[in-house]
A and B are shown apart, each in its own frame.
Chain A
Amino acid sequence: MSATSARPSHAAQPSGSAFILKKALISAAVALVLFSLMIGVRTEAGPQGGLIYWTRFGDLAAMVGTVFGGSIIIELLRQWWGPVDKDRIVPKPVQAAMSFAGRWLAPALLVFAFLVPVIFYNQRYILDLSILVLTYVMLGWGLNVVVGLAGLLDLGYVAFYAVGAYSYALLATNFGLSFWVCLPLAGILAAFWGVLLGFPVLRLRGDYLAIVTLAFGEIIRLVIINWQSLTGGPNGVSGIPRPTLFGIPLDNSDDGLAAKLGIEFSPTHRIVFLFYLILAMALLTNWVTIRLRRLPIGRAWEALREDEVACRALGINVTTTKLTAFATGAMFGGLAGAFFATRQGFISPESFTFQESALVLAIVVLGGMGSQLGVALAALTMIGGFELFRGFDQYRMLVFGIAMVLLMIWRPRGLIGHRAPTVFLERNQAISSDLVKEGHG
């Protein structure tokens, strides 16, 4: 913690073992105070209702010891690596290799995605996980329009996901409308809500917009919880119809798909169908976004992220441009929501918490704002990583939080650190993300 440790020069950093030890001791002392009561003492409501407690000094000692050891290791690693900067952590050749890999990585991933149900046909778990990953890929791509392209910080994206899910669930259970009718309706309704929220608040800048969208997300969730007559409140909506292949159900009834094709019924059929459905929806999102980027509206979004004042001077209607970005993102969120509802067959407010918004935002930012491939990779990493902790449910969010902090410190600009131009005369060269702004709205 001495002043010298902040100095960037490698040589000037104190490196003796005494220094490392001192640092580790300080860290351990801090940890001891922090954890003394929170870990050293465990409280619980006793049988009579009053609180009881017991001590856990062993755990406390273990934690403090871990911090001590960890601090030494980190300090050693740091001195071994030298000053922490981007080129050190990701050496230039690796960066070059990565940008080369980027060229064939996307098509390879795409081909692989199409083959997943073939390769893993008998592994239900992997199929389910892939569907989950693709759902988040789609959500990430949807939010990317708002955050990555237009530079508008939306912390309540889950609200549109919820609107889509509940639109489908309620329309289908109350009016018996089919998935294929409801899907566009869910998208339209979510976009409508996006406009409704966006219209008054998009004048706000930066963090204000973030907090207002967060509040909006909470409002939607609280209304869902409390408007019991419509939404079923905390109990949610169940019995949501499964999707059909344009009217042909995927079950073992006589007019089910299996019977029609004359093959033996298997529940996996539906999973595979759902897989290709979300894959198609995600790819549609991707296609539309890539297309929009090359249209004036998409360029205006990016210009808005770069410099709003200049946009106004060029005659761009900033409000409608932001609204279109917001509505487009909301629409994709709504579509994903409808898919979520039909896949689960049951939805409740618990699925639409702030954590969900934060997760999607983390995917977008970690992906490297605005990069479609980055978002897909980030979704794969995040959801996959999340799965690794399936057995330790309690620790999942804890680890997720720590990962978020570490990832931000490691790569504040995300995995893919450059922007591809939307049009070029001679050379199609990527732009370093150091130049790209991230917007104020």
Chain B
Amino acid sequence: MDYFAQQLINGLVLGSIYGLIAIGYTMVYGIVGMINFAHGDIFMIGGFIAMISFLVLVSLGLTAIPLILLIVLLVSMVITALYGWTIERIAYRPLRHSFRLAPMLSAIGMSFVLTNFSQVSQGARVKPVPPIITGGYTLHEGSEGFAVQLSNIQIVVVLATIVLLAVFTWLVSRTRLGRDMRACEQDQTMASLLGVDVDRTISMTFVIGAALAAVAGMMYLLYYGLVDFFMGFVAGIKAFTAAVLGGIGSLPGAMLGGLAIGLIETFWSAYFSVEYKDVAAFSILIVVLIFMPTGLLGRPEVEKV
């Protein structure tokens, strides 16, 4: 039971990270109708920028951990968001009304560019950082010496996710930008006729998605204490799986799907085998798509004949 509770906590934390990435996939898919293959690498870039800025801040002599974290968060969100904006501008916008495969290949190409850019510029080796947020609570002391732990870093990850989701939900449901985004999702031509700046709205979608991915990257760095240039690929596929599982296009669905994937992966590793945890996640994707093609919260797609 204790073991189960511990895995539940771990799974929720991992799921929060996946959920944050998944939102970027789902938003872009909702508006532009493409899988942004480079999004996993945006997450990786976010992690790198958090790592570098943290290192620089510490070496500059800053010691107040909360202040450092706040600055790192802002820096990585802003710079990573600019990556998202630039990529849309360079690689996707010229292909927006092109054939379906062209933007997808362009996105795959962009994903290679980012992966290898970071490999070339920062080296191929794993970058470890010392634990930044330490300490925690013991929730329950088990009879066989097994204790359920809730570390501070886990609390930070979950809290940050919740706060960001609240801000984000407010953004898409209450603001002008959110309304424009929903309008573009329904019908871009109509939206532009009604005075919505479609280009800008799509850009903002990429910016927001990238900023959330940057947060996920930073959380990953804090939680696992390392980043490497290849981490975007697998995390990206899993987050996309999460988006599909939740129902692509649905924002709560993305978060829900993220949590589900995080839990599945954690429990699979805990009770079956660590080696096959990714196989489990991908198999679930296939099974879900076969039996529930619209995901948990997705709208059913009607085929008009």
Also in contact, A43 and B276, with CB within 8 A (given A215-B241, A358-B112): no
Proximity bits, A367-386, B CB within 8 Å = 1, else 0 = 00100000000000000000
Q: List CB contacts (< 8 Å) of B27-51 with chain A.
A: 29, 34-35, 45, 48-49, 51
A405 and B285 contacting across the interface, CB-CB below 8 Å: no
A404 and B282 contacting across the interface, CB-CB below 8 Å: no
Name A401's contact: one of B49, B111, B286 (CB within 8 Å).
B111
Also in contact, A37 and B105, with CB within 8 A (given A43-B52, A210-B35, A212-B285): no
- List chain B residues, Cβ under 8 A from A440: 100
B125 and A212 contacting across the interface, CB-CB below 8 Å: no
A398 and B52 contacting across the interface, CB-CB below 8 Å: no
Q: How many angstroms between the C-alpha atoms of A354 and B108 in the bound complex?
A: 10
Does residue A44 face the partner (Cβ distance < 8 Å to B)? yes
A208 and B293 contacting across the interface, CB-CB below 8 Å: yes
Which A-chain residue is minimally distant from B94 (CB atoms)?
A409
Given contact pairs A211-B244, A215-B237, enumerate 13 new A-B contacts (beta carbons under 8 Å): A34-B82, A43-B51, A43-B55, A43-B127, A44-B127, A49-B128, A200-B290, A211-B285, A218-B237, A309-B305, A362-B105, A401-B112, A438-B99
Name B125's contact: one of A33, A44, A362 (CB within 8 Å).
A44
- List chain B residues, Cβ under 8 A from A265: none
| Residues on B facing A (Cβ under 8 Å) | 29, 34-35, 45, 48-49, 51-53, 55-56, 59, 75, 78-79, 82-83, 86, 90-91, 94-95, 98-106, 108-123, 125-130, 199, 233, 237, 240-241, 244, 275-276, 278-279, 282-283, 285-286, 289-290, 293, 303, 305
A408 and B106 contacting across the interface, CB-CB below 8 Å: yes
Q: How many angstroms between the C-alpha atoms of A94 and B103 in the bound complex?
A: 26
| Residues on A facing B (Cβ under 8 Å) | 6, 30, 33-34, 36-39, 41-45, 49-51, 53, 147, 153, 200-201, 203-204, 206-208, 210-212, 214-216, 218-219, 222-223, 226, 309, 354-355, 358, 361-362, 365, 369, 394-395, 397-398, 400-405, 408-409, 412-413, 438, 440
Q: Determine the main DSSP class of B at the interface with A.
A: helix
Which A-chain residue is minimally distant from B120 (CB atoms)?
A394
Which B-chain residue is minimally distant from A226 (CB atoms)?
B275
Q: How many angstroms between the C-alpha atoms of A403 and B112 in the bound complex?
A: 10
Name A41's contact: one of B56, B276, B285 (CB within 8 Å).
B56
Which B-chain residue is minimally distant from A39 (CB atoms)?
B121
Q: How many angstroms between the C-alpha atoms of A34 and B80 in the bound complex?
A: 8
Q: How many angstroms between the C-alpha atoms of A440 and B127 in the bound complex?
A: 41
B53 and A211 contacting across the interface, CB-CB below 8 Å: no
A222 and B278 contacting across the interface, CB-CB below 8 Å: yes
